[in-house]
Chains A and B, each alone.
Chain A
Amino acid sequence: NAGVTQTPKFQVLKTGQSMTLQCAQDMNHNSMYWYRQDPGMGLRLIYYSASEGTTDKGEVPNGYNVSRLNKREFSLRLESAAPSQTSVYFCASSEGGRTEQYFGPGTRLTVT
């Protein structure tokens, strides 16, 4: 039971490049989330998927897109990376509603 997995762990991009961050969970959770974590800013929600087939914007969605590929997988795409997107990205999942979240190990992204 791996919980929440993310790939890659580290990535360096040049401004304007694109990439997709992958996330998968094996807990049969309904809801999945993408956060970014920046020093002093805590966790900010980028996008979430309350259930398979739905996605919604969070607090900081600009510059990102998501796909809920199936119940297990939720990917985050940067179409044209910018230095302001340098951050640590965490994927999380939950049963939904009031329950706690389970986090992946994170992806450290640097955009130069």
Chain B
Amino acid sequence: AQSVSQHNHHVILSEAASLELGCNYSYGGTVNLFWYVQYPGQHLQLLLKYFSGDPLVKGIKGFEAEFIKSKFSFNLRKPSVQWSDTAEYFCAVNKGGSYIPTFGRGTSLIVHP
């Protein structure tokens, strides 16, 4: 069965620090990759996605992610976090044309002002 691993369960940073959240998946075929963000008390929103092409994907609010096929990874990065980035971040992977994404367990990010 496909699995999605987010290695960092809780991350605490100060404002202006750099961020990298890890995401690895176990499926070897064609995948579609997503990062979602859930701000406190809100629903999940799409941060960025990768289907094909340039493996470096830019999303909203200064976030980016890099797809490294050989490492089965899709890590999320931001060079300088803000207090407003405090949220839970979920990585999700679709196999090929599957209707069902597999979600990681999420990473809770707290940014101190």
Contact = CB atoms under 8 A, between A and B. Distances in A.
Given A41-B105, A43-B103, A98 B96 contact: yes
Contacts of A42: 90, 103-106
Interface in A28-58: 31, 40-43, 45, 48, 50, 58
Given A42-B90, A43-B90, A100-B34, A90 B44 contact: yes
B99 A101 contact: no
Contacts of A41: 105
Given A42-B103, A50-B99, A98-B32, A90 B90 contact: no
Given A41-B105, A42-B105, A103 B97 contact: no
Interface residues of A, number: 22
Contacts of B49: 100
Most chain A CB within a 10 A radius of its CB, from B42, B90, B97, B103: B103
B77 to A, nearest CB: 20
Given A96-B99, A98-B32, A104-B43, A40 B51 contact: no
B98 to A, nearest CB: 7
A40 B105 contact: yes
Contacts of A102: 46
Nearest to A102: B46
Interface string B76-110: 00000000000000101010111111011110000
B45 interface: yes
A96 B100 CA distance: 9
Q: Which 6 A-B pairs have the closest CB atoms?
A: A42-B105, A103-B43, A97-B97, A103-B44, A43-B103, A98-B32
30 contacts: A31-B99, A41-B105, A42-B104, A42-B105, A43-B44, A43-B103, A48-B100, A58-B100, A90-B43, A96-B99, A97-B94, A97-B97, A97-B99, A98-B32, A98-B51, A98-B94, A98-B96, A98-B97, A98-B98, A100-B46, A100-B49, A101-B44, A101-B46, A101-B92, A101-B101, A102-B46, A103-B36, A103-B44, A105-B42, A106-B43
Interface of A: 31, 40-43, 45, 48, 50, 58, 90, 92, 94, 96-98, 100-106
